[in-house]
């Protein structure tokens, strides 16, 4: 996500055609939304301006400790959802109750009131699909 953000924010090429520029901009915007959604419990992502400033500082300093902090945050966020068999059973009496349990894991929202886990789930799905296609 950080690479997608950085490509458009800091590494644009003058000779990019409009399609490349548009794709890079969209990837940048999606990456930033995912980072804010996932890490809104961290002061660096408490607001749009704070997140952009933090990412600018990270790009300019290449601070590996900051990346480690984000990785540790991901690990902590995932721990409650991982059973020994790498699955979790969710049950509900109604569709609305089931959606309330599943949506934070698989759906995006524009609310930044608490961390959502869909960016991590999306990455796991992507990796699984890549491995599956290689087999």
Domain ranges of the chain: 2-134
> Average pLDDT over the chain, rounded to whole?
80
Report which of residues 94 and 130 the model is more confident about: 94
Q: What is the CA radius of gyration of the chain?
A: 17
- The whole-model pTM stands at 0.64
pLDDT digits (tens, 9 = 90+) for 15-48: 999 999 999 999 999 899 889 988 888 898 989 9
DSSP symbol at 110: S
Q: How many CB atoms lie within 10 A of CB 119?
A: 22
Report which of residues 119 and 69 the model is more confident about: 69
- For residue 109 the two structure tokens come to 């929202």
């Amino acid at each position: 996500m950080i690479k997608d953000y950085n490509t458009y924010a800091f590494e644009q090429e003058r000779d990019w055609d409009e399609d490349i520029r548009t794709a890079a901009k969209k990837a940048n915007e999606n990456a930033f939304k995912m980072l804010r959604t996932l890490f809104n419990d961290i002061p660096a992502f408490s607001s749009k301006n704070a997140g952009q400033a933090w990412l600018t500082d990270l790009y300019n300093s290449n601070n590996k400790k900051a990346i480690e902090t984000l990785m540790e945050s991901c690990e902590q966020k995932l721990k409650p959802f991982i059973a020994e068999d790498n699955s979790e059973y969710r049950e509900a009496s109604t569709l609305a109750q089931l959606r309330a349990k599943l949506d934070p894991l698989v759906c995006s929202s524009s609310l930044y009131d608490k961390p959502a886990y869909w960016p991590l789930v999306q990455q796991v799905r992507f990796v699984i699909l890549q491995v599956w296609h290689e087999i």
